[in-house]
C-alpha cells in the first residue's frame, strides 16, 4: 500500500489520503528523491526495487531530483483537510513542493499606519510659503528675440 501511495505522489505530485498514511509515506517520498539526487546506478537500482514503474523512476531522476538542488529533505507538504465524509477519518493532501525558482519572490512587508489614539494630539501642518512667479530666463530671451 505504501509503495503504491509513494508511486501516486511521485506521479501526480498531489494526492488526497488519510492523515496516518500521508505522514508515513512522506518519508518514502523523501528517500526516493534523495536517491534521484544521488544519481548513481546503485541508487537507480534501489529506486527500481521500491517503485514498480520504471517511468516514475525516470521522472524522479530526471525531473524531480534537479528541482531541489539545495534542499536536503522535506520535499512534500502536508495540508490538513476536513474529516472524510464516510467515516470521519482525518484527511490530508500530500503534495510535492514547487521548485525554488518557481516560487514567487517574497514581498517586503508594507509599513504599518499609525493609529490615531484619543489622547494623542495631531501636529498641525505648517503652511507652505507662496512661491514667487518668475519666468525662466530662457523664455524671456525668446520673447525679446521675437520682438526684435
Are 92 and 78 in contact by the 8 Å Cβ rule? The answer is yes
Which residue bears the cell 502536508?
A: 78
Q: Compare 109 and 31 and report the one with higher pLDDT.
A: 31
Domains in the chain: how many in total? Answer: 1
Model pLDDT for residues 95-112, shown as the tens digit of each residue:
999 987 655 656 776 776
Identify which of 98, 35, 88 has the alpha carbon closest to the alpha carbon of residue 61: 35
Is the whole-model pTM more than 0.85?
Answer: no
Residue 82 belongs to a domain: yes
Contacts of residue 100, Cβ cutoff 8 Å, sequence gap at least 6: 68, 70, 71
Q: Which residues span the domain enclosing 17? A: 2-100
Identify which of 91, 108, 118 has the alpha carbon closest to the alpha carbon of residue 20: 91
Residue 8 belongs to a domain: yes
Q: Decide: helix, strand or coil at residue 136.
A: coil
Model pLDDT for residues 52-61, shown as the tens digit of each residue:
999 999 999 9
Q: Is the pLDDT of residue 50 over 60?
A: yes
Residue 132 belongs to a domain: no
Tell me the residue ranges of DSSP E strands in 1-148: 14-18, 76-80, 91-96
Amino acid at each position: 500500500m505504501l509503495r503504491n501511495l509513494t508511486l501516486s505522489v511521485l506521479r501526480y505530485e498531489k494526492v488526497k489520503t488519510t492523515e496516518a498514511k500521508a505522514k508515513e509515506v512522506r518519508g518514502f517520498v523523501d528517500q526516493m528523491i534523495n536517491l534521484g539526487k544521488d544519481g548513481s546506478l546503485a541508487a537507480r537500482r534501489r529506486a527500481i526495487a521500491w517503485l514498480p514503474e520504471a517511468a516514475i523512476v525516470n521522472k524522479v531522476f530526471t525531473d524531480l531530483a534537479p528541482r531541489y538542488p539545495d534542499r536536503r529533505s522535506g520535499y512534500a507538504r502536508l495540508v490538513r483537510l476536513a474529516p472524510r465524509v464516510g467515516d470521519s477519518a482525518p484527511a490530508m493532501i500530500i503534495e510535492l513542493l514547487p521548485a525554488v525558482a518557481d516560487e514567487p519572490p517574497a514581498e517586503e512587508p508594507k509599513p504599518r499606519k499609525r493609529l490615531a489614539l484619543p489622547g494623542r494630539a495631531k501636529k498641525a501642518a505648517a503652511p507652505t510659503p507662496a512661491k514667487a512667479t518668475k519666468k525662466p530666463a530662457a523664455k524671456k530671451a525668446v520673447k525679446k528675440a521675437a520682438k526684435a
